[in-house]
Structure 1
């Protein structure tokens, strides 16, 4: 049986950017704060994953 790869959904669909023109200054400031908080969260996850990968690499080098 053959599978058509075009029928498969992508793992993660890209979100459309928000329409900034319809936002007032306060909304834009809240949006920036939310994005900055998300960046901090993602950077912490990256550091944790790098730490785990380094620990695994050190363990298996022995």
Structure 2
């Protein structure tokens, strides 16, 4: 086992905010858009969950 194997196994980043898009194909752009939409949905779901918890706690102390 080489000490350099860990570097070779790293997966490429799905999308990096602000990266150069000029060399990316339309299909890859579609893939990145889908990944970002899934992440947005995940963030919104977590936000809703936290907002509900916050609202429940606030109503308890009124």
TM-score, shorter chain, exceeding 0.5: yes
In the other structure, the counterpart of 1:22 is: 23
1:22 Cα deviation after fit:
1.3
Count of aligned positions = 47
Q: Which has the higher contact order (CA 8 A, sep 6+)?
A: 2
TM-score (norm. length: structure 1)? 0.69
TM-score (norm. length: structure 2)? 0.69
Structure 2 residue ranges without an equivalent (≥5): 1-15
How far, CA to CA, are the matches of 1:17 and 1:52 in structure 2? 34
* 16 and 31 in structure 1: CA distance in 2 versus 1, 3 angstrom threshold: closer
Structure 1 residue ranges without an equivalent (≥5): 1-14
